[in-house]
Structure 1
Amino acid sequence: MFEMETHISCLFPEILAIIFSYLDVKDKGRVAQVCAAWRDASYHKSVWRGVEAKLHLRRANPSLFPSLQTRGIKKVQILSLRRSLSYVIQGMPHIESLNLCGCFNLTDNGLGHAFVQDIPSLRVLNLSLCKQITDSSLGRIAQYLKNLEVLELGGCSNITNTGLLLIAWGLHRLKSLNLRSCRHVSDVGIGHLSGMTRSAAEGCLSLEKLTLQDCQKLTDLSLKHVSKGLNKLKVLNLSFCGGISDAGMIHLSHMTHLCSLNLRSCDNISDTGIMHLAMGSLRLSGLDVSFCDKIGDQSLAYIAQGLYQLKSLSLCSCHISDDGINRMVRQMHELKTLNIGQCVRITDKGLELIADHLTQLTGIDLYGCTKITKRGLERITQLPCLKVLNLGLWQMTETTDDSVKCTYEPNADYMDRRTALSWEKRHLDKSCIHLVKKVMMGHRQLYSY
C-alpha cells in the first residue's frame, strides 16, 4: 500500500504557528524568510505572545512599528535612544510594557513630549538608571498612565518625596515600585505612598512589592507607615537601609501578607529584631539577613520558634555557629535554600546537622566556610533533593578513581571577584562521592547590587 509522507510545508498555518511559538526570537525571524507560507504563519500573533522587542532607535524606520503591531508585540525595550521617545509612543499606541533602563539621555523634556495623553494600555514602565529624570516626569506619569502596575525607578537619584506624593495621587493601581538608591526619599515620601499623610489622598494601597534598597534617609517611621497603610504588601526589600533598627521590626511583625523580607546589610538589626519578627503573625517564606553583623545563634533559635515555615534563608557572613544550626534545623522542615556563606564558625558538625534534618534542601551556599572539610561536604551531598552547592573558595577536582577530591585553596582571583562555584548534583550518583559523567562548574555572582 502506497503511503504518502506528509511534509512540514503541508501543515496548516495554525499548526506552523504553534511550532514557531516554541522558537527563540532570532529563529522566529529566520523562519519568516524561508517561504511565503512560513512568513505568513510566523506573523501569527500567537507566535510572538509575550515577546519583548529590543530596539536601537538610531534612525527613522517607517516599517518598524507597523511590523511589531502586525505581530502583536506590545512589549518594548529601548537599548539606545537617539530619537524622540514620542516616536515610540506614537508608533505603538497599544504598548503594554516600556523598558527604558539605562537610557541616560532621557530627560524630563523628552518624556514630557511623549506622554501628552492617556495611555491606558501601559502597565509596566522601567526608568531605572535614567538619571536625568526628576519629579517633573513623575507628574506626567501620574497624570497619563493611570493603569500603571509596575514602575521601576532604581538609580533615579533626583527623585524626591514630592515625586512620591505625585505617584500617590495618581497611580492607585500600582502593584510594584522600585526606589533603589533614591537618596532623597525619606520617611515623608513613604508616608505619602502609604496614604498616611494629609496631602496624599489615598496612596498606593495596592502595592504588593516595594524595593527601598539603599534609601539611606529611611528610619523606623517608614516601617510604621508601611505596616499601617500597605496591607497588601508581599515583598519588601530594605537592604542597605542603615537607618532602620530592631524597633522597626515590631511594625513589620504583623503584616500577615508579607512573604519575602530582605534586610541584607542593615547594620542595626540584631537578634532582638529577629525576635520581634518571630513573635508576630508573619508567614514569611523568604528572609535575607546577610551581612547583619549583630545576628547570631540566638536569632536561629527565634527563627525556629516563629519563622519555621521559611523556604529560603540567607545568613551570609552572620556570626552563627554549629550551636545555632543545632537550635534551628529540627523545626525548619520546609526550608529549600540556605545561604551560610562566609559563616567562618560553621564546621563539619554543622553540616552534619543540616544533612540529618534539612532533607528538603535543594540548594546550599558554603562560600568562604573555611572550617569545613571533605567529610562535611560528603554528608551535605547526600541530601536527597540537593541540586546546587556553591563552594566558592574550594577547589574540586576529579581523581583517577572517579572520586571527587575537595581541597581548600584560597585563590586571590576568586576572592577578588567574589564568585561561587556552582555544582549541580544531577551529575553525581546517589552517594554523591563518585562522578557519573562530569562535574559542572561555573561562576555565579554572589553580590547583586
Structure 2
Amino acid sequence: MRTMRTVPVYCTKLKCFNVLPVITMAPADEENPVDPFSCLPDELILRVFSFLQPALVHLPPVAQVCKRWCGLCQDSSLWTSLKFSSTTFSSTQQEDVFCNILQRRGNVQRIDLSACWNLVTDRYLEHVGKNCSKLTQLNISGCRRITDRGLAHVANGCKKLRNVVIHACPEITCQGVVSLAKQCVNLEELTISDCEGLWRDPHRMRTIPAYCTRLKCFNVGWSSASRGIVIDLDIKHFAMYCTQLRHLNVRSSQITDNGIAYIAQYCRLLEHLDLGHCFITDTGMKCRFPRLRHLDLNGCWHLTDSGLKYLAANNPNLEYLNIDWCFRITDKGIEHLAKRCPKLRHVSMAHCFSVSNRGIKQLSQNCPGIAELNVSGNFLLTDKALRYLAESNTVSLRTLNVEGCTRLTDQGMGLLLQTCAQLERLNVRDCRNLSPDGMWLLNNNIHVEGLCQREIPSFLCS
C-alpha cells in the first residue's frame, strides 16, 4: 500500500484513474470446486446480463443455469427494452403470450414490433396501452394490420412516449397520427414514412404540428419518388410550430423552393435535412441554415452549378452531401463546393456525368477530411482522379465507390491503394479495365466489392 502513494508523483497528467478491488477466492479443492461467478456481487452480474440483447431471446436460457441467475434475470432493469419477433410467439396463443410478457414487465420503456409485422394487430397495441405506462419508444414499422384504433390505445395509455416509428403501415391515416400527437405531447421523434393511408385525408397533415411543438426529429419521407403527400403549406405549419427540429426528412415530397424558405426561416437549429427527389431549384439553395451538417439532394436534377455555389456560400459547415443524379452539375460547381465547405467528410455524387478529374482534384485538395466518396457512374474519371486522391487523402479516405468508372486501370488503382493505407471498402463493380488478377488487389487488406462476377477467388470480394 505504501508504494501506491508514490504513483501520483509520476502521473501528473492523469485524467482518469480507477482502482478496482481485488476479488479473492478461497483455494479450490476437488470436492468443492470454486465457481468464479459466484464470487461476483449481484450488481456486477446484472451489468453483464444487461448486454444480452434482445432480452426475450437471451435471458430465458440464462435463467435456467441456476436459482441465483433465475432470480437475477427477473430484475426489472433488464427488461426496459423488448424486441419481439415471430419466434417469440411459438405457441398458438400468441396474443396471450404477448400480454403475459407485458404484465410481468412493468418497467418497459422501449418496444420494437417491426420483426413480427405479420402478427401484430390493434389488440396487441391495446395491451401495450394498458400495461406500459412508462413507454418512451415504440417501433411498429411494417405492421400492416395496425389501424388508427391501435394508435389510439397507445395514445391513451402511454403518455410518456418520446419516439414513435410508424413506417409502411398502410392502414394508418392522418387521423390516427393526430390522435397520437394530441395525447403524447412529449414527442421528440416521429416517423410516419411510406404510410399509404395518409393519402386518404392528406389535408389533416398540417394539423399535426400544433401538438408536437417539442419535435426534434420528423420523418415523413417516401422511398419511392414523387409519392409524398407533404406540400409547401404543410411544411410552413411544421416549421412554424416545430422550431426545435434538428432532423427533417421530406424525401420525395411535393415541396418546392418556397417550402425550403419556410424551413430556413423558422427551423434555425436544423442539422440534418433530406430533400431527395423534391422539386428544388437553385433558388432554394439561397437559404441559409446556420447549423446544417447533413444535406441530401439526391435526384434534385434541377440543380446546377449556381445552386451549389449558393449552397456552399450559405452553409460552410456541411459534413455530408448527397447530390446523386444531379447531372447538371459540373466541375465548376464542385469547385465552389470544395473551396467553401472544407469540413466535408462524406460526399456522394454518383451519376453526375459532367464531373471529371478536375472536380475530384478540387475536392481532394480542399477537403482533406473526406472519409467516404461515391463517384459511381462518372465515366469521365480516369487514373488522374485516383492520383489526386492518393496525393491528398492518405489518411482520411476509408470508403471509395467507383462503380461503373470504366476508364480506371490497374496502374491508377495500385497507386491509390499504396498511398491510402486507411482505405477499408472499395467498390469496383463494372470497372472493366481493372484486371481481376491485378497486383493492386494484394496491396491492401480491404473489402473489395464487385469482382465476384469476374471469377476471382471469393476471399477477395463481397
TM range (shorter): 0.7 to 0.9
Asked if the contact 2:322/2:347 (under 8 Å) is kept, the reply is yes
1:109-124 equivalence runs, <5 A: 109-116=149-156, 119-124=158-163
Q: Is 1:207 matched with 2:231?
A: no
For 1:301 and 1:404, the matched residues in 2 are separated by: 30
> Structure 1 32/441 Cα, relative in aligned 2: closer, same or farther at 3 Å?
farther
Q: How does 1:72-111 map to 2 (within 5 A)?
A: 72=108, 74-78=110-114, 79=116, 80-84=119-123, 85-111=125-151
Matched, 1:238 2:275: yes
CA distance in 2, matches of 1:266, 1:130: 27
Which structure 2 residues correspond to residues 123-202 of structure 1 after superposition, within 5 A?
123-159=162-198, 162-181=203-222, 183-195=228-240
Scaled by the length of structure 1, the TM-score of the pair is 0.82
For residues 230-262 of structure 1, the C-alpha deviation after alignment (integer angstroms, 9 at most, x for no partner) is: 111110001111x111110001xx211111000
Residue 48 of structure 1 and its aligned partner are, at CA, apart by 4.8
Q: What SS does the aligned partner of 2:52 have?
A: coil
Higher strand share: 1
Q: Choose which of 326, 329, 345 in structure 1 pairs with 2:361.
A: 326
Alignment partner for residue 3 of structure 1, among 27, 43, 48? Answer: 27
Query: How far apart in 2 are the matches of 1:102 and 1:440?
Result: 36
* Counterpart residue number, 1:369: 405
**CA pair 139-21 structure 1, distance change in 2 beyond 3 A:** closer
| 2:46 paired with 1:17 | yes
Letter in 1 for 2:461: M
Task: Flag the 1:268–1:59 CA change in 2: closer, same or farther, 3 A.
Answer: same
Q: Which runs of 5+ in 2 are unaligned?
A: 1-25, 449-456
* Contact preservation (8 Å) 1:247, 1:273: yes
Q: Which residue number corresponds to residue 249 of structure 1?
A: 285
- How far residue 390 of structure 1 moved from its aligned partner, in angstroms, is 1.7
Q: Which digits, 9 at most, give the CA deviation of each residue in 1:355-390, with x for residues without a partner?
A: 111221111111111110111111221203211112
Pick which of 36-45 and 96-105 moved more. 36-45
Q: Distance in 2 between matches of 1:29 and 1:96?
A: 24
1:169: how far off?
A: 0.6
Structure 1 letter corresponding to 2:84: K
1:20–1:161 CA distance, 2 compared to 1 (3 A): same
Q: Extract unaligned runs of 5+ from structure 1.
A: 196-202, 407-422, 429-436, 443-449
The AA in structure 2 aligned to 1:351 is L
Contact 1:59-1:83 at 8 Å conserved across structures: no
| Cα distance in structure 2, aligned partners of 1:365 and 1:292 | 17
| One-letter identity of the residue aligned with 2:258 | L
Q: What is aligned with 1:54?
A: 84
Number of equivalences: 401
Take 2:100 and 2:444, find their aligned partners in 1: how far apart are those partners? 46
CA distance 1:110–1:18, shift in 2 (3 Å):
closer
Whether the 8 Å CA contact 2:121–2:150 is kept in 1: the answer is no
State the structure with more CA Rg: 2
Match of 1:339 among 366, 374, 399: 374
Partner residue of 1:357? 392
Q: Following the alignment from structure 1 to structure 2, what is the Cα–Cα distance between the partners of residues 12 and 438?
A: 48
Q: Which residue of 2 aligns with 1:419?
A: none
Aligned to 1:434: none
Residues of 2 paired with 1:144 and 1:163: CA distance? 17
Within 1, Cα distance between the matches of 2:179 and 2:121? 21
Q: Per the alignment, do residues 221 and 31 of structure 1 end up closer, same or farther by CA in structure 2, a change over 3 Å counting?
A: same
Q: Aligned to 2:233, what secondary structure does the other structure show?
A: helix
CA contact (8 A) 2:217 2:248 kept: yes
Q: Which moved more, 1:60-69 or 1:259-268?
A: 60-69
Distance 1:16 1:116, change over 3 A: closer
Output the CA distance in 2 between the equivalents of 1:106 and 1:82: 5
Please give the alpha-carbon distance, in whole angstroms, between the structure 2 residues aligned to 1:176 and 1:398.
Answer: 45
Q: Secondary structure at the match of 1:81?
A: coil
Structure 1 stretch displaced more, 11-20 or 74-83: 74-83
1:146/1:112 Cα in 2 relative to 1: closer, same or farther (>3 Å)? same
Superposition TM-score, scaled by structure 2 size: 0.80
- 1:42 corresponds in structure 2 to 73
Q: Which string of whole-angstrom CA distances, capped at 9 and with x for unpartnered residues, describes residues 418-445 of structure 1? A: xxxxx983589xxxxxxxx995532xxx
1:413 is matched with none
The residue identity in structure 2 corresponding to 1:369 is C
Map Cα deviations across residues 381-402 of structure 1 (whole Å, 9 max, x no partner): 1203211112223589986xx9
SS in 1 for 2:324: coil
5 Å matches for 1:201-350? 203-215=241-253, 217-241=254-278, 243-251=279-287, 254-319=288-353, 320-350=355-385
| 2:11 aligned partner | none
Q: Does structure 1 conserve the Cα–Cα contact (< 8 Å) formed by 2:343 and 2:367? A: yes
Residue 96 of structure 2 aligns to a residue in which SS? Answer: coil
2:321 is paired with a residue whose SS is: strand
